Structure 1
Amino acid sequence: MFRRCSRILTVMLYLILTASIYSSFKALFGLSVTVRINSMKDHERIDVETQTTPFVLILCNDGNYLRFPEIAMTKFEIQLRQAKTLIKSAVKLSKSSIRFIILGNDDTVLLALKTFVSEWPPLLRSRLTLSYRPVFIPEGWHLMDLYEKCVTEKLFLPWVLPEFDAVVYMDTDHVFMRPPEHLTQHFKYFDEKQVLGVAPVDGFYLQFNTENYKN
């Protein structure tokens, strides 16, 4: 089980906010992490079905129904609209079938996304698979809603998606500018020593006043 979980390879590149993962694990588990940048061609390739690698989104309803006056939408509605745009950009640019797994605390999000997709041309709809799973919250974990609802769920992808050898996690406020296959093909360059791929987002978290991870 541990070996399978450890093989959940999460390519985040510029699509993920790296600082929260690094800071959380360093503080919670006392890890001393050394970051080494290696060229992809230095590693042996492994057999990963990149065309069936699912993309994972986290969509949680924070229960706040106050609408932003500028756009007359709640935070959850904004995130849902972002997810629709992200998925549409992926399917539009993809040359093969693509799968999205939605992790959340409100299963109505799947119906909303399917209703949105139902208006697409049949050719585009046929390439997309959507599914929903409830978020996984470990017993005793108190940082699930650190500064946004369910924000730390991304730390537990190996537990909530144990049957997958590789997944790509994405924040909803992104869009694809190139085919998604360009992202999943990075798994081909992972070896048995690699677990995830990340890229820094320097200075982003300085704007948040969050609680100390050690408390």
Structure 2
Amino acid sequence: MRKLSYKLIIFLMLGCLAFVYMYSKLNLSSHSNTYQSIKKLRKNDGMMKTLSEKVVLSFVVCDSRFNESLNVVKSVLLFTPNPVHFVIFTDDSLRKKIEKILNKWGDITNNQLTFELHKINFPEAHREDWMNLFSKCAAQRLFIPKLLPHIDSMIYVDTDTLFLGPVEELWHHFSLFNNSQMSGMALEDDNPNISWYPRFAKHPFYGKYGLNSGVMLMNLTRMRNFGWVDYVTPIMLRWKLNIPWGDQDIINIIFHYHERTVYVLSCRYNYRSDQCMYGDACSDAATQGVFLLHGSRGAFHNNKQPAFQVFFYNNITT
């Protein structure tokens, strides 16, 4: 009996030791997995942060751009289930129409869409110059950092743009800015034989090829700290006879002298007819697809680019 009890005690001790060993091993494995998970979360912290924020998107619309502007909104909502806040600058003639339609769409989407409307607001000094620079109201975007003190960051787009993917993907690029960068844009072109700026510009411009401002990530807080609005009027007065692209040229002049403040976006986030007119000039779009289509120079409405035109009318307006 005593011999049996010794055997039982030894058996129980061995069992306890085995249990302790297995528990320690599992616990270490759990800690290792937890550590790896924490590392992964830290690595993706920027993405987590941007996904938790409500996307803010802005555009300026006057005159005949009304239908285009509605298509911007539709294309954004088509590709995301998440809330999006639109900040729209418009003139008095369109304000009520926009408000009525967007209120209706807000109800339909269960308030996925929220918006705020602002009047066109230029400084009284040189107001007419600003109002008609390039196209009516287009230069309003230059003054947005001062006009929207309650907004930290936003995506600005021209009204002749269409999203072909979730807006959160573009918004995520804010988290990739370094400490010096305050704005993100694509190059006008990355081929000196195609890009307008190295061939024709009579003013300073960004880098070798210039920037296209049809899609612009704007960290408004950093732009305010930079003193952005203080630059634009002196530049306009100095160069107004040599800036055919208006506000875009002014943006290029500023960033010519402050290149480190620019985050360069891929051409797939601002895909224009230039990228396909002379062959495939946007390799990212060829491999990853076009994310945002920009129908600049009337590409959605004239017969020079039928693919752009067909896409705009058949896939969005119907």
Report the TM-score, using the length of structure 2 for normalisation: 0.42
Contact 1:104 1:134 in 2 (8 A): yes
Relative distance call for 1:119 and 1:48 in structure 2 (3 A) is closer
After TM superposition, list the pairs within 5 Å mapping 1:68-79 onto structure 2.
Answer: 76-77=63-64, 79=65
2:90 aligned residue (91, 104, 107): 104
Residue 115 of structure 2 aligns to a residue in which SS? strand
How many residues are aligned here? 154
Structure 1's 50 and 160: CA in aligned 2 closer, same or farther, altered over 3 A? Answer: farther
Tell me which residue corresponds to 1:124. Answer: 109
1:51 paired residue among 38, 53, 67: 53
Alignment identity in percent?
24
Give the Cα–Cα distance (whole angstroms) in 1 for the partners of residues 241 and 143 of structure 2. Answer: 20
Structure scoring higher RCO (CA < 8 A, sep ≥ 6) equals 1
Structure 1 residues 194 and 178: alpha-carbon distance in aligned structure 2, compared to 1, 3 A threshold: same
Structure 2 unpaired stretches of 5+? 1-44, 190-194, 202-239, 244-249, 251-318
Q: Which runs of 4+ in 1 moved over 6 A?
A: 205-208
What's 1:179 paired with? 166
CA separation in 1, counterparts of 2:113 and 2:67? 17
The answer to whether structure 1 residue 165 and structure 2 residue 152 are counterparts is yes
In the alignment, structure 1 residue 84 sits paired with structure 2 residue 84: no
- Tell me the SS of whatever aligns to 2:187: coil
Q: String of CA shifts for 1:62-110, please: whole Å, max 9, x gaps.
A: xxxxxxxxxxxxxx23x1000111101111211210111111232x534
Q: What is the alpha-carbon root mean square deviation over aligned residues?
A: 3.3
d(CA) in 2 for partners of 1:158, 1:121: 26
* Paired position in structure 2 for 1:156: 143
Query: Are the aligned partners of 1:105 and 1:135 in contact in 2 as well (CA < 8 Å)?
Result: yes
Which structure 1 segments of 5+ residues have no match?
A: 1-43, 61-75
Larger radius of gyration, structure 1 or 2?
2
Residue 188 of structure 1 and its aligned partner are, at CA, apart by 1.2
Secondary structure of 1:162's match? coil
Give me the TM-score of the superposition, normalised by structure 1: 0.60
